[in-house]
Chains A and B, each alone.
Chain A
Amino acid sequence: MERSEEYIKNERKQEWRVELQKLTKAKDRMAIERVEMTEMAPEERIKSQRVEVNVGLTKEQAMLEATRCMDCVNPTCMEGCPVSINIPKFIKNIERGNILEAASVLKETSALPAVCGRVCPQEVQCEQRCFYVEKLNLPSVAIGHLERFAADFERESGVISVPKIAEANGIKVAVIGSGPSGLSFAGDMAKLGYDVTVFEALHEIGGVLKYGIPEFRLPNAVVDVEIENLRKMGVKFITNYIVGQTASLDDLREEGYKAFYVGSGAGLPRFMNIPGENSNGIMSSNEYLTRVNLMGADSEESDTPILRGKNVVVVGGGNTAMDSVRTAKRLGAERAIIVYRRSEEEMPARVEEVHHAKQEGIEFLTLTNPIEYIADENSRVKQIKVQKMELGEPDASGRRRPIPMEGSEYTIDATVVVVAVGVSPNPLIPNSVEGLEVSKWGTIEVVKDKMQSSIPEVFAGGDIVRGGATVILAMGDGRKAAKNMNIYLQEKYLSNKVEH
């Protein structure tokens, strides 16, 4: 994963790269305008929860966009990528039309490029550090769109390469949780020859990728292909199995599992604890999105009910809030409103999601915070009392702290309210495993960069270690954990010295 600067520099000097560099003048590269992603028309796409908004780039569009990239001597974009994908190398492969090669470059580092290309907040990662942004004050190279293009091209070509698997070493390892972190860990361990079983509490594999992020942003089919690939690599999946409840870690030890990776996520929804919050019609974003995305409640055919309303309010400003409010629109809300206590600038959601939400007619009430819910005679919410806020000094997160404005209260009508104000680590594993060190926030403590917990054979990563974070970080943790668990197991059971 980690590659020396030396190596990156030498690769850049490979013949084909040098030829490409010479082929087009820098001035001409800069003259190309950033590609526009083709999107489904807003009035069409809001009719279905399952129509993807972004259509994807054509090969011509992708190759032209790839031409914009300068193949910089010092590719700062890579510093912005949490897992240091070799960005210029994959982009230059697209420029020369070698898309499958580009996909395989992505896979050197990212276990789920088709997912990351769709959901990574590129505008604050690689794209923010692109030469075009840092030095030219121009729109960055569309790294995210290109990543998605390469991964989709490979998937659609039907010639997905199943990675080489080392000879089976007979060592059983268990993965707890099938989110992006668990999946990427499983893939790497299978490649190294381990006997890998993934245990999942829900009836579906994929974690947040399935129950949280809606199909209009990330189609299930994209995730399923990755899961299928892992199956081909020999990874076993067991659903409806809650480690710590169905069986304990000790039970699994008895069954011969030698090591564990906990990727159990941050599944516990937070509420605001304001009056009236337990009225009917008020729910967490996890409940709302799970009913729709996992249980299919947007369809008549599903047995799971969902509350629809003319006016739906979603509280929060993150990706979860955007996903919820856009889901509400798709379920037929006339007014779907974001209520967020800071200003748009501080919103943690991906910029593209906010942009798409606006296109879809989502209303934004920023600098506004709910303080009470008012219910009707059947205890169903009918109004939200809100308060206006102003921004003060920056707080611990570096964002300006919202301060309530006295006397600014007013009410908004809504019969469905979705609370999307954050999640806490899933307490199932921390509560059920003795001797596991846990922080005061409930996250599992690990040795940084090794992802090893206070119990030597238990590794952990993703949201259970970081609190609510991102897909790419969860994935990166999984890969780091695999690398270090391999070292640990090789030394312990196979008396092999592995280069650290």
Chain B
Amino acid sequence: MNKIVEKENFSEKVVKIVVEAPLIAKARKPGNFVIVRVGEKGERIPLTIAGADVSRGTITIIVQKMGVSSTKLCNLEVGDYVTDLVGPLGKPTEIHNVGTVLCCGGGVGVAPLLPIVEGYKKAGNRVVTVIAARSKDLLILEEEMRKHSDELIVMTDDGSYGRKGLVTEGMEEVIKREKVDECITIGPAVMMKFCSLLTKKYEIPTMASLNSIMVDGTGMCGACRVTVDGKTKFTCVDGPEFDAHKIDFDEMMSRLGGYKEEENDKMDHFQN
């Protein structure tokens, strides 16, 4: 049982939660995630650790309402308890000083990107960050990102804020303008697929952080398997980050829909 000590609504659908987890706060590295369960009938869902405060013994997670489980979590208030919280899971991001790093985040994927941006900056890189959202009210963590990046480009699909256009447009502009040594992309699977196609064209090494469906998060079930370089990998223990140019994104996207009907039934059941 872990107590929620802080909560902030970023938008109608996106919530920031700060929760007590002293050991995880101490052990976590950028790129790590946790598995959370709400209620005795609750599902185990993976969420990236967006930040941690070792002295307070807390971690920050940023959650988007998708279905039953994320909604239940978003509905908890300060003082409530998360039934189960386990982590840190996954391999941390391999952060080195490589020169210029282009960090691209879309939607709620901006949250897991934050500690990575911080890490790259700390390691002495020039960090150019592109964040994107469908519209202004869905944009998150702009200030935090600006603080830790050398340059921040904001894109919205509808042009309600920043520049109008997709994340890839902002990326290409940077790539054409200056030498980019490494790229990292986190967001919806389609977005990562197109980021990856773009950087492949320019031959820029790129990592993508995958948000596969998971159960245990410890390598026990294989629900999270993806094909990377023709081989089956488990996202939770072999990832979540992989060489984007080698990921089979089409398979990954179809696997994300593997429980769609069943999840929708659960949502109907929950709402009624």
Q: Could you list which residues of chain A lie within 8 angstroms of chain B, going by C-beta atoms?
A: 201-203, 239-242, 245-247, 267-269, 271, 273, 277-278, 280-281, 283-284, 286-287, 290-291, 295-296, 299-307, 378-380, 426-428
Contact = CB atoms under 8 A, between A and B. Distances in A.
A123 B251 CA distance: 45
B218 interface: yes
A284 B257 contact: no
Contact of B219 (A273, A280, A281, A426): A426
11 contacts: A267-B220, A269-B220, A295-B44, A295-B215, A305-B43, A305-B262, A305-B266, A307-B259, A378-B257, A379-B251, A428-B218
Given A202-B216, A267-B220, A269-B220, A239 B84 contact: yes
Nearest to B85: A240
A245 B87 contact: yes
A307 B262 contact: yes
A203 B254 CA distance: 29
Given A245-B27, A296-B41, A281 B220 contact: no
Contacts of A277: 232
Contact of B72 (A203, A303, A428): A303
Nearest to B89: A245
Given A300-B269, A303-B41, A378-B254, A284 B221 contact: yes
A241 B265 CA distance: 32
B43 A280 contact: no
A245 B29 CA distance: 11
Contacts of B223: 283, 287
A245 B69 CA distance: 24
Contacts of B221: 269, 283-284, 286-287, 290
A242 B218 contact: yes
Contacts of A283: 221-223
Given A245-B27, A304-B43, A426-B220, 7 more contacts: A242-B89, A273-B232, A290-B220, A295-B43, A378-B254, A427-B237, A428-B237
A296 B39 CA distance: 12
Contacts of A241: 23, 86
B142 to A, nearest CB: 32
A280 B255 contact: yes
B42 interface: yes
Q: Helix, strand, loop or mixed for chain A's interface?
A: loop
A199 to B, nearest CB: 11
Contacts of A239: 84
B79 interface: no
B148 interface: no
Nearest to B37: A203
Interface in B221-272: 221-223, 225-227, 232, 237, 251, 254-255, 257-259, 262-263, 265-266, 269-270
B219 A428 contact: yes
Contacts of A267: 218-220
Interface string B68-87: 11001000000000011111
Contacts of B87: 242, 245-246
Q: Chain B: interface residue count, which band?
A: 35 or more
Contact of B86 (A246, A305, A427): A246
B258 A281 contact: yes
Contact of A291 (B42, B215, B226): B215
Contacts of B68: 303
B222 A287 contact: yes
A268 B225 CA distance: 12
Q: Which of B23, B87, B222, B257 has the most CB of A within 10 A?
A: B222
Contacts of B39: 303
Interface of B: 23-24, 27, 37, 39, 41-44, 68-69, 72, 83-89, 215-216, 218-223, 225-227, 232, 237, 251, 254-255, 257-259, 262-263, 265-266, 269-270
Contacts of B83: 203
Contacts of A295: 43-44, 215
Contacts of A291: 215
Given A303-B69, A304-B43, A284 B86 contact: no
A427 B219 contact: yes
B218 to A, nearest CB: 5
Contacts of A305: 43, 259, 262-263, 265-266
B84 A280 contact: no
A245 B91 CA distance: 10
Nearest to B270: A303
Contacts of A280: 254-255, 257-258
A306 B262 contact: yes
Given A278-B251, A378-B254, A269 B89 contact: no
A56 to B, nearest CB: 29
A268 B269 contact: no
A221 to B, nearest CB: 16
Contacts of B85: 240
Contact of B225 (A278, A301, A303, A427): A278
B63 to A, nearest CB: 15
Q: Which of B68, B88, B237 has the most CB of A within 10 A?
A: B237
Contacts of B42: 303
B215 A271 contact: no
A249 to B, nearest CB: 13
A281 B262 CA distance: 12
A286 B222 contact: yes
A278 B252 CA distance: 9
B48 to A, nearest CB: 15
Contacts of A281: 258
B259 A268 contact: no
B218 A201 contact: yes
Q: Which of B39, B42, B69, B263 has the most CB of A within 10 A?
A: B42
A334 to B, nearest CB: 19
B27 A271 contact: no
A272 to B, nearest CB: 10
A427 to B, nearest CB: 7
